[in-house]
Amino acid sequence: MSITQNIEEIRGRMAQAAVRSGRKPEDVLLIAVTKLHEPGEIEEAIAAGVTDIAENKVQEIQKKFDQIHSPVNWHLIGHLQTNKVKYIIDKVVMIHSVDSVHLAQEIDKRAAAAGKTMDVLLQVNAAHEESKFGLDPKDVPQVFREILDSCPNVKIRGLMHIAPWSEDPEEIRPYFKEVKDLFDTLAAVEHPNADFKYLSMGMSHDFETAIEEGANIIRVGTSIFGERDYSKKMGGM
Protein backbone atom coordinates (compact mmCIF):
# COMPACT_ATOMS: atom_id res chain seq x y z
CA MET A 1 0.00 0.00 0.00
CA SER A 2 1.09 3.57 -0.63
CA ILE A 3 1.63 6.21 2.04
CA THR A 4 -1.61 7.87 0.92
CA GLN A 5 -3.57 4.61 1.25
CA ASN A 6 -2.02 3.90 4.64
CA ILE A 7 -3.11 7.30 5.90
CA GLU A 8 -6.66 6.76 4.66
CA GLU A 9 -6.79 3.40 6.38
CA ILE A 10 -5.46 4.86 9.66
CA ARG A 11 -7.96 7.74 9.51
CA GLY A 12 -10.77 5.20 9.21
CA ARG A 13 -9.58 3.27 12.26
CA MET A 14 -9.03 6.52 14.20
CA ALA A 15 -12.56 7.67 13.42
CA GLN A 16 -14.09 4.43 14.66
CA ALA A 17 -12.05 4.50 17.87
CA ALA A 18 -13.03 8.14 18.44
CA VAL A 19 -16.71 7.28 18.05
CA ARG A 20 -16.30 4.31 20.44
CA SER A 21 -14.96 6.78 23.02
CA GLY A 22 -17.87 9.18 22.50
CA ARG A 23 -15.98 11.73 20.45
CA LYS A 24 -15.92 12.94 16.89
CA PRO A 25 -13.29 11.81 14.37
CA GLU A 26 -11.98 15.37 14.06
CA ASP A 27 -11.31 15.50 17.82
CA VAL A 28 -8.19 13.35 17.38
CA LEU A 29 -5.06 14.68 15.67
CA LEU A 30 -2.83 12.38 13.65
CA ILE A 31 0.86 13.29 13.86
CA ALA A 32 3.03 11.51 11.29
CA VAL A 33 6.33 10.41 12.82
CA THR A 34 8.88 10.97 10.09
CA LYS A 35 12.14 9.86 11.74
CA LEU A 36 14.50 8.16 9.30
CA HIS A 37 12.16 8.91 6.39
CA GLU A 38 13.00 10.98 3.35
CA PRO A 39 11.62 14.41 2.39
CA GLY A 40 9.80 12.88 -0.61
CA GLU A 41 7.89 10.48 1.64
CA ILE A 42 7.07 13.30 4.05
CA GLU A 43 5.74 15.47 1.20
CA GLU A 44 3.52 12.59 0.11
CA ALA A 45 2.03 12.38 3.62
CA ILE A 46 1.41 16.13 3.65
CA ALA A 47 -0.27 15.91 0.25
CA ALA A 48 -2.52 13.21 1.75
CA GLY A 49 -3.71 15.67 4.38
CA VAL A 50 -1.18 15.34 7.21
CA THR A 51 -0.85 18.71 8.97
CA ASP A 52 1.57 17.76 11.74
CA ILE A 53 4.82 15.81 11.70
CA ALA A 54 7.19 14.73 14.46
CA GLU A 55 10.83 13.82 14.85
CA ASN A 56 12.54 12.34 17.90
CA LYS A 57 15.96 13.89 17.28
CA VAL A 58 16.98 17.53 17.14
CA GLN A 59 19.53 16.76 14.45
CA GLU A 60 16.88 15.34 12.09
CA ILE A 61 14.70 18.43 12.52
CA GLN A 62 17.68 20.65 11.72
CA LYS A 63 18.49 18.58 8.66
CA LYS A 64 14.96 18.28 7.26
CA PHE A 65 13.43 21.60 8.25
CA ASP A 66 14.46 23.41 5.08
CA GLN A 67 13.90 20.37 2.86
CA ILE A 68 10.15 20.30 3.47
CA HIS A 69 8.51 23.05 1.48
CA SER A 70 4.82 22.42 2.19
CA PRO A 71 3.42 24.15 5.24
CA VAL A 72 3.34 21.73 8.19
CA ASN A 73 3.62 21.86 12.00
CA TRP A 74 6.76 20.28 13.47
CA HIS A 75 6.77 18.53 16.85
CA LEU A 76 9.66 17.19 18.91
CA ILE A 77 8.75 13.89 20.59
CA GLY A 78 12.14 12.49 21.66
CA HIS A 79 14.42 13.09 24.61
CA LEU A 80 15.75 16.64 24.58
CA GLN A 81 19.08 17.70 26.04
CA THR A 82 19.18 21.21 27.44
CA ASN A 83 22.10 22.22 25.22
CA LYS A 84 20.04 21.44 22.08
CA VAL A 85 16.93 23.47 22.93
CA LYS A 86 18.31 26.49 21.08
CA TYR A 87 18.35 24.62 17.76
CA ILE A 88 14.62 23.89 17.70
CA ILE A 89 13.01 26.71 19.66
CA ASP A 90 12.12 28.55 16.45
CA LYS A 91 11.10 25.42 14.51
CA VAL A 92 8.64 23.33 16.51
CA VAL A 93 5.09 24.11 17.61
CA MET A 94 5.24 21.77 20.60
CA ILE A 95 7.78 19.78 22.62
CA HIS A 96 6.19 16.54 23.88
CA SER A 97 9.12 15.31 25.96
CA VAL A 98 9.55 17.66 28.92
CA ASP A 99 10.57 15.53 31.88
CA SER A 100 12.35 17.91 34.25
CA VAL A 101 12.07 21.41 35.68
CA HIS A 102 15.63 22.04 34.51
CA LEU A 103 14.71 21.34 30.87
CA ALA A 104 11.58 23.51 31.12
CA GLN A 105 13.70 26.36 32.48
CA GLU A 106 16.07 26.15 29.52
CA ILE A 107 13.07 26.12 27.14
CA ASP A 108 11.70 29.13 29.01
CA LYS A 109 14.97 31.03 28.63
CA ARG A 110 15.25 30.28 24.90
CA ALA A 111 11.57 31.02 24.27
CA ALA A 112 11.89 34.37 26.03
CA ALA A 113 14.92 35.25 23.89
CA ALA A 114 12.97 34.30 20.76
CA GLY A 115 10.02 36.42 21.90
CA LYS A 116 7.59 33.52 22.10
CA THR A 117 5.83 31.13 24.43
CA MET A 118 6.53 27.45 23.84
CA ASP A 119 3.81 24.84 24.16
CA VAL A 120 5.00 21.70 25.94
CA LEU A 121 3.68 18.39 27.19
CA LEU A 122 5.00 16.60 30.26
CA GLN A 123 6.20 13.11 29.40
CA VAL A 124 4.91 10.47 31.80
CA ASN A 125 6.45 7.01 32.16
CA ALA A 126 3.46 5.22 33.66
CA ALA A 127 4.92 1.73 33.28
CA HIS A 128 8.17 2.77 35.02
CA GLU A 129 10.22 1.39 32.15
CA GLU A 130 13.92 1.90 32.71
CA SER A 131 14.54 2.13 28.98
CA LYS A 132 12.22 5.11 28.62
CA PHE A 133 12.42 8.72 29.65
CA GLY A 134 9.57 10.47 31.38
CA LEU A 135 8.32 11.31 34.82
CA ASP A 136 7.02 8.91 37.39
CA PRO A 137 3.28 9.70 37.60
CA LYS A 138 3.60 10.45 41.30
CA ASP A 139 6.18 13.19 40.58
CA VAL A 140 4.13 14.89 37.86
CA PRO A 141 2.03 17.25 40.04
CA GLN A 142 5.13 18.65 41.79
CA VAL A 143 7.06 19.16 38.52
CA PHE A 144 3.96 20.70 36.96
CA ARG A 145 3.74 23.23 39.84
CA GLU A 146 7.42 24.11 39.73
CA ILE A 147 7.35 24.71 35.99
CA LEU A 148 4.24 26.88 36.27
CA ASP A 149 5.90 28.94 38.98
CA SER A 150 9.26 29.41 37.26
CA CYS A 151 8.69 29.39 33.48
CA PRO A 152 6.51 32.28 32.25
CA ASN A 153 7.37 31.55 28.60
CA VAL A 154 6.36 27.90 28.77
CA LYS A 155 2.74 26.83 28.44
CA ILE A 156 1.90 23.34 29.62
CA ARG A 157 -0.70 21.93 27.24
CA GLY A 158 -1.02 18.35 28.48
CA LEU A 159 0.72 15.01 28.83
CA MET A 160 2.59 12.56 26.61
CA HIS A 161 2.96 8.86 27.21
CA ILE A 162 4.70 5.96 25.46
CA ALA A 163 3.20 2.61 26.42
CA PRO A 164 5.33 -0.52 26.69
CA TRP A 165 5.26 -2.71 23.62
CA SER A 166 2.61 -5.38 23.93
CA GLU A 167 0.76 -7.64 21.57
CA ASP A 168 -2.29 -7.52 23.81
CA PRO A 169 -3.91 -4.07 24.04
CA GLU A 170 -5.64 -5.05 27.29
CA GLU A 171 -2.24 -5.30 28.98
CA ILE A 172 -1.44 -1.66 28.33
CA ARG A 173 -4.95 -0.19 28.64
CA PRO A 174 -4.44 0.43 32.40
CA TYR A 175 -1.46 2.71 31.65
CA PHE A 176 -3.54 4.79 29.25
CA LYS A 177 -6.28 5.04 31.88
CA GLU A 178 -3.80 6.10 34.55
CA VAL A 179 -2.36 8.86 32.37
CA LYS A 180 -5.88 10.05 31.42
CA ASP A 181 -6.81 10.30 35.12
CA LEU A 182 -3.68 12.33 35.78
CA PHE A 183 -4.53 14.52 32.78
CA ASP A 184 -8.03 15.20 34.15
CA THR A 185 -6.66 16.07 37.59
CA LEU A 186 -4.14 18.57 36.24
CA ALA A 187 -6.58 19.99 33.69
CA ALA A 188 -8.68 21.25 36.61
CA VAL A 189 -5.84 23.48 37.87
CA GLU A 190 -6.30 27.11 36.93
CA HIS A 191 -3.11 28.95 36.03
CA PRO A 192 -2.29 31.29 33.14
CA ASN A 193 0.50 28.97 31.94
CA ALA A 194 -1.52 25.78 32.16
CA ASP A 195 -3.91 25.24 29.29
CA PHE A 196 -4.54 21.52 29.23
CA LYS A 197 -5.86 20.33 25.92
CA TYR A 198 -3.61 17.58 24.55
CA LEU A 199 -3.17 13.97 25.57
CA SER A 200 -0.50 12.54 23.27
CA MET A 201 -0.51 8.76 23.46
CA GLY A 202 -0.86 5.94 20.96
CA MET A 203 1.51 4.71 18.24
CA SER A 204 1.20 2.31 15.30
CA HIS A 205 0.48 -0.78 17.37
CA ASP A 206 -1.72 0.72 20.08
CA PHE A 207 -3.40 3.90 18.84
CA GLU A 208 -6.94 2.53 18.87
CA THR A 209 -6.67 1.55 22.54
CA ALA A 210 -5.11 4.94 23.34
CA ILE A 211 -7.96 6.80 21.60
CA GLU A 212 -10.56 4.66 23.38
CA GLU A 213 -8.97 5.79 26.66
CA GLY A 214 -8.97 9.48 25.77
CA ALA A 215 -5.91 10.27 23.64
CA ASN A 216 -6.49 13.21 21.30
CA ILE A 217 -3.07 13.14 19.64
CA ILE A 218 -1.59 9.95 18.22
CA ARG A 219 1.97 9.65 16.89
CA VAL A 220 2.18 7.16 14.05
CA GLY A 221 5.26 6.24 12.02
CA THR A 222 5.48 2.64 10.88
CA SER A 223 1.83 2.26 9.87
CA ILE A 224 2.18 5.25 7.56
CA PHE A 225 5.67 4.90 6.12
CA GLY A 226 6.54 1.23 6.70
CA GLU A 227 9.42 -0.14 8.76
CA ARG A 228 12.25 2.25 9.51
CA ASP A 229 15.69 1.46 8.10
CA TYR A 230 17.93 1.88 11.12
CA SER A 231 21.06 1.41 9.01
CA LYS A 232 20.40 4.99 7.90
CA LYS A 233 20.67 6.15 11.47
CA MET A 234 23.11 8.98 11.91
CA GLY A 235 25.74 8.89 14.60
CA GLY A 236 26.16 11.48 17.29
CA MET A 237 22.90 12.61 18.80
**Binding interface with ligand PLP (CB under 6 A):** 33, 35, 56, 77-78, 162, 203-204, 219-223
- Of 48 and 112, CB closest to ligand PLP: 48
Q: Which bin fits 202, alpha (ψ -120 to 50), beta or left (φ > 0)?
A: left
Q: How far is the CB of 33 from ligand PLP (least distance, A)?
A: 4
Determine the Cα–Cα distance for residues 215 and 235; give it in Å rounded to an integer: 33
When the beta carbons of 158 and 221 are compared against ligand PLP, the nearer one is 221
Residue 174, Cβ neighbours under 10 Å: how many?
13
CB 111 within 8 A of CB 118: yes
Closer to ligand PLP by CB, 150 or 222: give it.
Answer: 222
Least distance in Å: CB of 183 to ligand PLP? 17
Q: Smallest gap, in angstroms, from Cβ of residue 78 to ligand PLP?
A: 6
Cβ proximity to ligand PLP: between 35 and 64 the closer is: 35
> How near is the Cβ of 77 to ligand PLP at its closest, in Å?
4
Q: Which is nearer to ligand PLP, 17 or 148 (CB)?
A: 17
Q: CA dist 105 to 94, 101, 119, 226, Å?
A: 15, 6, 13, 37
Q: Name the nearest CA neighbour of 56 among 75, 42, 71.
A: 75
In angstroms, rounded to a whole number, what is the distance separating the alpha carbons of residues 38 and 64?
Answer: 9
Q: Give least dist CB 219 to ligand PLP, A.
A: 4
